[in-house]
Structure 1
Amino acid sequence: MELKQLEYFIVVCEQGSFNRAAECLYTSQPNVSKVILSLERELGRPLFERSPRGLRITPYGRTVREYARVVLRHTAIIRSMADYGWGKKFSLATYPSNMIAHLLADFYTHWQERYVVEHYEGTVEEVSGLVARGQAELGIVYVAQRQLSSFRHILSHKKLVFQPLDVKEACIYVGPHHPYYVRDSIDFSQLSSQRFIGGVHDYFAVEHHLERVSLGAISTRDLNYAMHSNSDHVIISALLHTDLCSLGLNFMHQPYSHYDIKTLRINGCEPFLTIGCIRQEGEPHSEAADWFVEQFRQLL
């Protein structure tokens, strides 16, 4: 059995026909049919019922589909862990952050002759999953202090450890088109009248913790979200060119504040978000990871 057979099989399942699958795979319909038929012969059972009305996956085919997806997902993980032709690889996963993007540029300047960098962005769950699977050596996340105990418990099952670096309060990021751009702070009571752009839905996201801050001064149900995106570029563009604002951590290192975006302090908001790094338990740290953590700590 070849991976190509499983890849073709999954695409046919998704497209529902050999013709559409062939278009997605940039090949011919007879070639797709040939690959699927060879897989069926090897397995000894049909994966699809063929009729003039089209393809219909068999119950056996549905079972094979689930296992094929697991195999292809794990294959992608193994491929992502491969070393490049020269230099060592430093891989990390982080929440979306323009400051981290610039720190990675500094990393390249410092280590360009010794390391190739591989960077992923995602939610807290996605970052911890990447570190647990070995796709990332280091993860950078933030978690509410009240969640630290349960968060560490979740990480322990994945054989991961969390190293706190600092505690920050939440803030509002605004661009030049926001009416509060000329201000330095905002009250909790004024948040409900703002229009927000937010990241992907994440249990550990800032929005889920605000209702516990300052004795429940605001509920997340009162926040008006006009847009969601997991792209840092989209969020920055929205802040620069619209009246949308976003929730974030209240720190912006000056050398990295080159965008016309400013932070508004939330009056009465105490520090409650712990920012830190995730690593695999018992695994040795590379000098690159230690350098990155120390530089990030200095920025904080």
Structure 2
Amino acid sequence: MDIKQLEFFVVACERGSLSQAAECLYTSQPNVSKTIRTLEHELGRPLLMRSGKGVQPTAYGKRVLEYAQLIIRTTITISSLALPDSRNSLCISAYPSNMIAHLLADFYREWGESCYIEHREGTVEEITDDVQQGISEVGIVYVAEKQAATFQHILSHKNLSFVVQDTKKICLYVGPRHPLYHAESVDFSDLSSLKFMRGVRDFFSMEHHLGHVSMGVIDTAALHNVVYTNSDHLNIALLLETDVCSLGLDFLHEPYAQYDIKALPINGCEPFLQVGYVQDAEHTLSTQAQWFVSYFQKLL
């Protein structure tokens, strides 16, 4: 049994026809039929019921189909993890971030085609898993100070370390269509009347820890969230074109401020989010990764 046999069987079931499966797989109908019959012979039972109207899986074939689809999806996922030579690449995981995207563009201008780039976005859990599994060399994260000890404890079991670069406040991001666009700052009491986008749902995400800011004066239950997304593209589009706003880290880098979006300070908000990167505790960062984290620190 091999992946090709399973793929032919799955496509035949999905198309309901051996001829249509052959067209989809860029091969001949006899080849599809022969491959599936070989699989049936190996398993010792028929997988398809064949008729003039096409094919459909037998009861046994339906069970095999579920596992075959799972195997193919898993194979595709594994293939997507294939990387160029790690000695000549920069592999980064981070929250969805326009600033990180611009920094990677700077990296490309500096290193050109001499170095491959792989960039992945996700939650803190996904980012740290990427680093632990060797998919990414560096993971950019931010964590509430009051959760730092818990976070470090979790990382110790994964043999990872968190290198803090700075501690930041949060701010309110608004676009030109927002009624507060011309304001200089906002109060905590203003937030309950606004419409928000909320970011990735993650135990270590900024939103999860807003109750720790200024002795809990932000009531997350009172915030009116109208959009949930982990898309930076959607975040920017809504800020520019609607009256929806978002909470974010107060570290907008001026040279990257290409959009008409303002970061309004929140009066009385103290720094509480540690910003830094996760790395394998036993390995020294590559030259490429060292370049990236040094420039990231300059942005902060």
Q: What is the aligned partner in structure 2 of residue 105 from structure 1? A: 105
Q: Deviations over 1:129-178 (max 9, x none)?
A: 22222221111111111222222222233332211111111111110000
What one-letter code is carried by the residue in structure 1 that aligns with 2:2?
Answer: E
Q: What is the aligned partner in structure 2 of residue 157 from structure 1? A: 157
Q: What is the aligned partner in structure 2 of residue 196 from structure 1? A: 196
What one-letter code is carried by the residue in structure 2 that aligns with 1:139?
Answer: G
Q: What is the aligned partner in structure 2 of residue 82 from structure 1? A: 84
What one-letter code is carried by the residue in structure 2 that aligns with 1:259?
Answer: Y
* Aligned residue-pair number: 294
Q: Structure 2 vs 1, CA of residues 65 and 261 (structure 1 numbering), >3 Å: closer, same or farther?
A: same
Once structures 1 and 2 are overlaid, which stretch shifts more, 286-295 or 31-40?
Answer: 31-40
TM-score, normalisation: structure 1: 0.84
8 Å Cα contact 2:198-2:229 kept in structure 1: yes
* Residue 173 of structure 1 pairs with residue 173 of structure 2: yes
8 Å Cα contact 2:137-2:280 kept in structure 1: yes
What one-letter code is carried by the residue in structure 1 that aligns with 2:181?
Answer: Y
Note the residue ranges of structure 1 that are not aligned, 5 or more in a row: none
Q: Structure 2 vs 1, CA of residues 190 and 25 (structure 1 numbering), >3 Å: closer, same or farther?
A: farther
Q: What is the aligned partner in structure 2 of residue 147 from structure 1? A: 147
TM-score, normalisation: structure 2: 0.84
8 Å Cα contact 2:10-2:65 kept in structure 1: no
8 Å Cα contact 2:15-2:21 kept in structure 1: no
Structure 1 residue 10: Cα displacement: 5.9
8 Å Cα contact 1:3-1:72 kept in structure 2: no
What one-letter code is carried by the residue in structure 2 that aligns with 1:268?
Answer: G
* Residue 257 of structure 1 pairs with residue 257 of structure 2: yes
Once structures 1 and 2 are overlaid, which stretch shifts more, 210-219 or 33-42?
Answer: 33-42
Q: What is the aligned partner in structure 2 of residue 284 from structure 1? A: 284
DSSP 3-state at the match of 2:92:
strand
Note the residue ranges of structure 2 that are not aligned, 5 or more in a row: none
8 Å Cα contact 2:3-2:72 kept in structure 1: no
Q: Deviations over 1:51-78 (max 9, x none)?
A: 889435555654565555444433432x
Structure 1 residue 219: Cα displacement: 2.2
Question: Which structure is larger by alpha-carbon Rg, 1 or 2?
Answer: 2
8 Å Cα contact 1:172-1:245 kept in structure 2: yes
8 Å Cα contact 1:18-1:29 kept in structure 2: no
The 1-side partners of 2:260 and 2:23 are apart by 42
The 1-side partners of 2:171 and 2:19 are apart by 48
Q: Deviations over 1:10-37 (max 9, x none)?
A: 6678x58567994995558956665444
The 2-side partners of 1:161 and 1:20 are apart by 55
Q: What is the aligned partner in structure 2 of residue 247 from structure 1? A: 247
Structure 1 residue 218: Cα displacement: 2.3
Alpha carbon RMSD of aligned pairs, Å? 3.1
Q: Structure 2 vs 1, CA of residues 118 and 24 (structure 1 numbering), >3 Å: closer, same or farther?
A: farther
What one-letter code is carried by the residue in structure 1 that aligns with 2:185?
Answer: S
DSSP 3-state at the match of 1:209:
helix
Identity over aligned pairs, percent: 47
Q: Structure 2 vs 1, CA of residues 29 and 209 (structure 1 numbering), >3 Å: closer, same or farther?
A: farther
What one-letter code is carried by the residue in structure 2 that aligns with 1:181?
Answer: Y
Q: What is the aligned partner in structure 2 of residue 183 from structure 1? A: 183
Q: Structure 2 vs 1, CA of residues 88 and 60 (structure 1 numbering), >3 Å: closer, same or farther?
A: same
